[in-house]
Structures are given as C-alpha cells and as structure tokens.
A and B are shown apart, each in its own frame.
Chain A
Amino acid sequence: MPSSLVDGNSLLAVDIGAANTRAVLFDVVEGEYRFVVSGSAPSTAEAPYKDVSEGARQAIISLQTILGKTLIDGTGNLITPSQANGSGVDALVVTMSAGPTIRAVVVGLLSEVSIESARRLTESTYARIVETIGMNDRRKPEQQIDAVLRVRPDLIVIAGGTDGGASRSIKKLLEPIGLASFLMPEEKRPAVLFAGNEKLSDDVKNLVGSLAPLLHFSPNVRPSLETEDLEPAQRELAHMIVAIRKNQNKGMELLDQWSGGHILPTAYATGRMVRFLAKVYAAKKGILSVDIGASAAIISAGFRSKSTLNVYPQFGLGENLAGLLNFTSLEDILRWSPLDISSGVLRDYLYQKSLYPSTIAATKEDLAMAHSVVRQALYLAMQSARRDFPRNVAHIKPNLTPLFEPILAGGGALSDASRPGQGLLLLLDSLQPVGVTTVILDQNNLLPLLGAAASQNNILPVQVLESGAFLSVGTVVSPVASANYGTPILRGKLTYENGTEARVELKYGSLETLPLPSGEMGKLTVQCLHGADIGFGPGRAPREGFNVSGGALGVVFDGRGRPLDLPSDAVRRRELIKKWNWTIGGE
C-alpha cells in the first residue's frame, strides 16, 4: 500500500492567479485520493491589498463554507495538521502566476546555441525578455551597460560555454552585467541565474555575486553543442521566481510558512505534471497541455524524448492584452468572430479589458470578442511553442500541429466557456490538432495543483487524474485532406459497447459528431477518402478500427482542413462559424 494512503493525508492546494485565487481540497475518499471541493476569491496581489495571502485566505474561507469544515482559525491562520475535531488540513501547496511580468535580460555566447537555450529557459516562466546580450553583439560595453540600466531587469539569465569549453568570452560578457548591477540602487538590482559552463561558477560569484540580491547556479543548459538540458535550470528558475515574488509581495512569506516552502510558479507546476504524464503515458504521440488566463498563455508539451514548457505573458488576457496588437492584427482576431464587429470596437475592447482584467463578458457581443481574442492568443502561443518542439515528433505534415494524445486544456479563459462545445471549438480553432486525439477540459484548473502536490504526495496526482475530476470532451478526429468544400473525406462507423452502430459521413469544411457518453468506449472504423490522413498515412486507417473514448460531446469529426483556412468573405465566414458553433453544441 502506498505510504501516503496509510496516513490518508488531506492536502489543500491554492492557486494564486492574476485575477482569481482558488483553493482546492484533495482528500481520501473510499481509499483513493479525490478532488473534493474548491472555493475561490478575487486575487489580492494588487493594490490596495498588495498581499496575496488575503486572497488565499478568502478562497479557503469560501471553500470551508461549502465543505462545512473549519480550515482557518479565529486568528485567520490555516489550521495544520488536521485536528481530531475534523478541522484543518494536513498539508498545503501553493502555485502562483499573479504578479507583474518579470523583465529578463538574456546573456549568452552564440545566438543559435546558448542564447537560444537561455531564451527557451527564460520563456519557461512568467518573464519577458527585454534585452539580449551575446558575443556577436556589436555594441560597446558601455552601451550594453546603458541598455541593461534602461530596461530595469528583475532577472538576468546567463548561459554559455559548453562544460569545459569557452570561459574568457563569458567572463567578458559578465563585466557589463556586473557594472550595470553595481550602478542600480541596491533594492532594484536583478536576480542572476547562471546556467552556463560550470567551471565559471567562481568567476560569476566574483563578478556579480556581491551585487545580485539572488545568485543561483544550475547545471549547464548546454553541456555540449549538441545537447540541451533545460530541466534542472527550469527548476532553479522556478525557485528564483518564487523568491522574486516574495520580495514583491508581503503575503508570500505567510504562505511560505503555511506550506512549508511548497510554492511553485503555476507554469512550472503544469510543466512538471506534463513531464510526468509524458514519462508514464506518452507513446508515439506527445501529450499537450494548454492554459490561457489573465497572466499568460502556457503551452506545455511532453514527448518521449523531451518536454517543452513555454510561457507567454504577451498572450495573456489580463493587463498585457492591449500589447497583443504588437503580435497580430485586429482583422486576424476578428476572423474568429461569429458576429459582425468593427475593428474599432475590438480595439477599444482590448484596451478597456487591459484596464480591468478580472471583468467578464456579460453580453453576447463582449463574449464573441473575448473568445475571438482567446482563439488568436492561443493560436499565436501554439505557433510560437512549436518552434521548440523536438524535430523527430510524430506528425502528419511538418508544418502542422504534431500528433498529440491527449490534449489537456485549462485556464480562466477556457473554464469561462459556458458549454463544453464552446471550449472545444475554441481549442480546435486555435490548436488545430490533427489525427485522432482525446480532448480533456481541466475545468477546475487542477493540473498545476497536482504538479505542485506531487512534491508532497506522489500518489495523489495519479489517483486524482484517474478519478474523473477532469471533463473529457470526447475524441476528436481531424483528417488532413485537400478537397473541395462539401466533398466527402471520411466515412466512419462507431460501434458501441452494446453492439449498436452509428455512422457518419464527413464532408470537407464541416464538423460532425457521434454521441458517445463519458466513461464509455467505442470502436471506430473509418474509411479515409481523397487521401485524407488521420495519422495512419494518406487514405489509410486500420481495417479493424480503433478504440475511442467518450465524452461530453462524444466523437467529434473536424473536416475543416489543416491548416484551418477560413473563408475570406466575412459574411460567409461568420455564417460558417455560427454553423460550427451550432453543430458541436456551443450555442
């Protein structure tokens, strides 16, 4: 019997988002860990509170009201461990994404090698790269100093030099960094992570050690030219981010105390969970997790050989929203809208929403804009993240999304979708999965919390994942085909467990569904027409069929083509989007 089950420890997990703070209780029910209940409250990272513990306390109070059990005592403190009278919990873990985007300077030798690794490392957390300094930088050292001073970084990530390799060039790059730190007021000096040639640790300590409020070392992200190993550095960076947040927000100390130091950035906790799932479950296909909320869009992909974690604050739906227009156009956002909305109205929406990130869409027009923005932001995030996927992953065409099984989706924006169909269509449009994949909605945003819980209790995440706490939307079949609109590209026969059958003919440009309830399995036999490919080769599919799992929407066939090419005629496009919404139960 697993040790954690002997004790049956209850675990409270708190996620502090930019807009909302959620408290989730996991406990043993009938011998296995289950997600029991959750509560939420507005986050309090911002003024006037400037204290994240207040939002956490309110979220726990909201949870205890539903639970009917006391978790917070009369003095406002968390009761740990659980008491004989039933009050309290045994442990607490915290994940956090709230807080201003961390401004990072990346330092490395070669742009294609160490700088690229440092970039990938930095993009695995809630940071925005505001300056890059490398060996081929033609600026004078004083210009580099001034550039660093101008961007006022919170964090400097230094990589470079293979183990046992270059050291002189790195030392030269450290000089302007050290001088810039020296020139900053002590309380504003950036934290420094060195993830380069390990032999240089002493030099780094000498050059920047006394100037950095936090100096961390991690194993080299580029131990050799051919090898990249980000994982240990990501772990170190995660701890640094928590330390930076502790300096920024007074409530962090209390949460640190309550949780015994078990605080992780939400994105890192998600990445950890995806890495774990990839190790346990990934076969030929990868595992994909997407999360989009006020603070960032997070794409985490797990493959057998490697996992990637990309955090894009620039595609978050909160205070950075107006900045989305630096990466896309109003027209590209509006192409997703089922309603006729002018670009001026959308522009005003983006700016206004960035003033009030926690507000929600109360009208249909507002929701259409909100969902169009989510689609485009997630689409951009996915396109960016794909650059970092390993080259040898399973795919149908290299320019398309690789094959994934399953796709897990969470975050405030997706849990806001009032119907599973809305959420699914949003994911199909933005991620454009190919082949056969199961789509799972993490409506309670449990994935990062399970990633954080894993450090306290390694059996809990596995049991909760398998307990049905996530909403299976169903199996999606997305053929890659080239055909005229309305041409049949796939015929399918779904055989249910009781032997009954249902059939579908999928025409190019359309969506179809076959019902298959959650928890049930079926056998799908398909005939791919016109060279349509669902991952078994053009026009091919296993003659004996393959198993598919059910979900809220059953089996969904997406025949709209990959990449999804929306009609340029706005009226026709909007009609089609409405039709698609109707087909898969969005509205």
Chain B
Amino acid sequence: MQAPVNHIVGLTSIVRERLLPVSGTVLVRLNQKVGSNEVIAETNWSHEHVLLDVARTLRVSPAAADRLIKLKVDDRVLAKTEIAVGSGLFPRIVTAPRDGRVVAVGGGQVLIEVGETKLELRAGIPGTIVEVIPNRGAVIQTAGALIQGVWGNGRIDSGMLVNIAEKPDGVLAANRLDVSLRGSILLAGMVKDAETLKAAAELPVRGLILSSLYPSLIPMAREMRFPIMVTEGFGPLPMNSAAYRLLSTNAKRDVTVNAEVYDRYSGARPEVIIQLPVSSDPPSLREVEEFAPGLQVRMRRPPSMGMIGTITAVPRGLTILPSGLRAPAAEVKLENGDAVIVPLVNLEVVG
C-alpha cells in the first residue's frame, strides 16, 4: 500500500514553485540567487469596487451615457474626477467618489476598482531561481534541511533559530519569552494560552515552531504577523523526535519558516527550511513510498500518536485492532523499544 510522506530530512534538494494568486510582475530572473524574504513578484490587488450608474444619474439611455463617459478601461482616476457630464443649462455631473482604476465601462455604467493595495510575493526559501513563470512567479531551488509541519498560519519569515524547548514535550509559557529572544525564530513546545502568543507578538519574535497548539488559539494564531508552524497538531502533543532532533541540532543557524496553510489538494504544507552549503546537489525528495519493513514511520493516531518507529513487518490480510475494527496493519518497533501494531492508514513515512 502506498504511504503518505512527511518530510523531515537533514539534507535534500528542495524545489518550490511560488506564484501570485493573480497576474502581476515578476521581479527576478533565471539563475538569480534570492533570500527567503526577497520579493520575487508583485501586483496590485483590490477587494473593493464602486459601480457608477451614469445613465441613471444623467437620466439618459445607456447608449447615450456610454458616449458621455470620458474614461476608458485601465484609466486611473482621482476622487472627484469628472466621469461624465450631462447636457442642459445646469448639467448633472458624475464624478469618481474615490481614487481608483477603471475596470469596466459599458451599458451606461462605470466600474472602478478602489482601495488598491500592493501584494508582494516573497521567495519563501533562500535559493536559486531555476524557472521564471511569466506574470505569476518563479521556481526556486535550494539545498538544506527540511522539516514539514501539519498546520501553518500563512506567514513567512527568516531568522536565527533559538531552541527554548528543553525537551520535545516542553510547554512554552509567556514568562519564558524575554527580550533576548527578540527577532529570533523559536523552537518551542506546545502553546496552551493566549498570553504566550501575545507575549511573542510583543517582543516580537520572527517565528514560532511549535509541537502543538490548543484548538481555541487557532483564530488568534492566524492573526499573528509572524509565522507559526505546528509539527504535530492540536492539543497537548510533544514534538516527534525526528523533527526535534533535526531542529535542535540546527539551533543558531538561519532558518526560514514558511508557515503555508496546509492544502491537501495542492500539496502546500508549512515547512522549515535550513539552507546548507553543499558542493553538489543532494538527492531529491521522494513524495511516495510503499509501506515496507525498514521504513521510518510516525504514528498519526493514538495510541503512540506522534511517536517515531520502524516498520518490522507488514502482515498480509486484515488485523483486528483493540478498537474492534479490522484493517491492514504493520508491526512497528518504536524508538523506546516497544513493539506495536498500527493500521497502515494511521502511519506516515518520515524521510
């Protein structure tokens, strides 16, 4: 049976496509080196529109109004700019209510895009541009360590990794956050309360790598301006040993936290990337594996949720689980030496 893979790898070749949600301008060129915070593409983005019914205001037919409208699509307008003027001794005048850009004209109406903001797409990973996607973005390649998580708040940033989780099941509390941690990316444990997130925001930190987050804090975590990546999930969960080991041994290095929102369909996942110097390209990642003895796996459901182990056998047929359900299962030897039987669907390959 094919197995899902969660990447926790010390050295690999990482390739990521970064795209604007809408058409824009790409600012990088092929083979250019980029930093993770570097803006690689930008566009103007507006979520607000004003529809002016010129025909109705001037009390003329739509066709007549179209002839009176002085603007065309893509024209920039300032507030109070004249858009159309009626006829008569005291003609009615239609003006732009706000600064904006004309996006449609016709049927006696003018649609103006207002409240425009600039949308900048950052590289997300430090590396080399290996492909430019016209008007949308680029493909970036780098080499280094990769640690994927299960939840991200959609933010991205880079900085020095500081380990303040003495052990994988540590709890990050507000009083642990002092001024010496300002501007750092923190490898922390689980976060249980809002005060901790507030304290992190007040410092501010550049990012949090957490083992778990209490579900009630999700809305607040989404609002934080710094990236938050969760490696295990929700509730009191310790960090898996593979991720903790790799992250803690890379403390004091520059890391990038790209806390992308997990999208199971596109494959976007939150991840930590630690760029490392290499003389040749390391092997690429394997996205698909077959369950087989020798594979390193992580348990995704209780019991032993979050623990890492090695498959020792994949028996044929169905196994009866303690819950009474029957499912294809594997025998797994956990890092603590215990042997457990786990349904295959509750496992993911780590590597």
Contact = CB atoms under 8 A, between A and B. Distances in A.
B51 A362 contact: no
Interface stretch (B80-88, B116-124, B242-250, B297-305): B297-305
A351 B234 contact: yes
B322 A364 contact: yes
Nearest to A353: B301
Contacts, number: 140
A587 B324 contact: yes
B126 interface: no
Contacts of A48: 5, 267, 287-288
Given A361-B323, A363-B322, A419-B324, A356 B300 contact: yes
Nearest to A144: B51
Nearest to A587: B324
Interface in B12-30: 22-23
Contacts of A350: 215
A352 B306 CA distance: 11
B225 to A, nearest CB: 22
A586 to B, nearest CB: 9
Contact of B325 (A41, A182, A418): A418
Residue of B1, B23, B103, B235 ringed by the most chain A CB atoms within 10 A: B235
A388 B218 CA distance: 35
A348 interface: yes
A362 B234 contact: no
Interface in A146-177: 146, 149-150, 175-176
A478 B31 CA distance: 73
B309 interface: no
Contacts of B67: none
Which range holds the interface residue count of chain B?
Answer: 35 or more
B2 A352 contact: no
Nearest to B348: A356
Interface stretch (B202-210, B253-261, B271-279, B339-347): B339-347
Interface in A347-370: 347-348, 350-352, 355-356, 358-367
Interface string B273-298: 00000000000000110000000000
Grouping DSSP codes into helix (H, G, I), strand (E, B) and loop, the B interface class, with mixed when no group exceeds half, is loop
Nearest to A55: B2
B113 to A, nearest CB: 8
A145 B49 contact: yes
A47 B267 contact: yes
Contact of B215 (A42, A348, A416, A587): A348
A361 B345 CA distance: 10
B47 A360 contact: no
Contacts of B336: none
Nearest to A422: B324
A580 to B, nearest CB: 17
24 contacts: A46-B264, A48-B5, A48-B288, A100-B265, A140-B51, A145-B49, A145-B111, A149-B49, A179-B111, A183-B49, A185-B22, A348-B215, A348-B236, A351-B235, A355-B151, A359-B300, A359-B345, A359-B346, A360-B321, A362-B322, A362-B325, A366-B301, A416-B325, A418-B326
Interface of B: 1-2, 5, 22-23, 47-51, 103-104, 107, 111, 113, 150-151, 215-216, 218, 233-236, 262-268, 287-288, 300-303, 305, 321-327, 342-343, 345-346
Given A183-B113, A362-B321, A362-B323, 10 more contacts: A46-B267, A48-B267, A48-B288, A351-B235, A352-B234, A355-B233, A355-B234, A360-B321, A362-B322, A362-B342
The 4 closest A-B pairs by CB, nearest first: A47-B267, A348-B235, A48-B287, A351-B234
